[in-house]
Copies of this chain bind each other. A is one copy, B any other.
Amino acid sequence: MGESRFTTPDLRTAPGAAVRATCRAGSLTGPTPGLARGFVQANLVIVPSDVAFDLLLFCQRNPKPCPLLDVTEPGDFEPKAVAPGADLRTDLPGYRVWRDGQLVDEPTDVRALWRSDLVSFVIGCSFTFEAALLDAGLPVRHIELGVNVPMYVTNLPCRSAGRFAGPLVVSMRPMTPAQAVAATRVCARFSRAHGTPVHFGDPAALGIADPTRPEFGDPVEVRRGEVPVYWACGVTPQAALMQAKLPFAITHKPGHMFLTDLRDVDLEGE
Q: Which of A53-61, A239-247, A255-263 touches B?
A: A53-61
Considering only residues 59-84 of chain A, those with a C-beta below 8 Å from chain B are: 60-61, 63-64, 68, 71, 73, 81
Q: Are B191 and A270 in contact (CB-based, < 8 A)?
A: yes
> Residues of B contacting A81 with CB < 8 Å?
61, 159
A236 to chain B, nearest CB (A): 16
Task: For A63, list chain B residues within 8 Å (CB).
Answer: 270
Shortest C-beta distance, A99 to chain B (Å), equals 23
Is A249 close to B, CB under 8 A?
Answer: no
A28-56: CB near B (< 8 Å → 1, else 0) gives: 00000000000000000000010011001
- Interfacial residues of chain A within 153-170, with CB under 8 A of chain B in the complex: 159, 161-162
A157 → chain B, closest Cβ, in Å?
13
User: Using a Cβ–Cβ cut-off of 8 Å, how many residues does chain A contribute to the interface with B?
Assistant: 22
Report the bound CA distance from A269 to B187 in whole Å: 11
Smallest CB gap from A160: residue in B: B73
User: For the complex, is A196 an interface residue (Cβ under 8 Å from B)?
Assistant: yes
A188 at the interface (CB under 8 A from B): yes
Is A237's beta carbon under 8 Å from chain B?
no
A167 to B30, CA, bound (A): 43
Given that A73-B162, A188-B270 are known contacts, is A56 also in contact with B64, CB under 8 Å in the complex? no
Taking the closest CB of chain B, its distance from the CB of A247, in whole angstroms, is 18
Given contacts A61-B81, A73-B162, A196 and B56 within 8 Å (CB-CB): no
B270 x A195 contact (CB < 8 A): yes
A71 to B52, CA, bound (A): 14
Which among B68, B71, B161, B270 is the interface contact of A73 at CB below 8 angstroms? B161
Min Cβ gap A132→B in Å is: 15
Determine the distance from Cα of A63 to Cα of B192 in the docked complex, in whole angstroms: 12
Quote the shortest CB–CB distance from A268 to chain B (angstroms): 11
Q: Other than the known A60-B68, A73-B161, A196-B270, what 10 A-B pairs have Cβ atoms closer than 8 Å? A: A52-B53, A56-B57, A57-B71, A57-B73, A60-B71, A61-B71, A63-B270, A64-B270, A73-B162, A188-B269
* 7 pairs of A and B residues whose beta carbons are closest in the complex: A53-B53, A191-B270, A195-B270, A56-B56, A52-B53, A57-B71, A60-B68
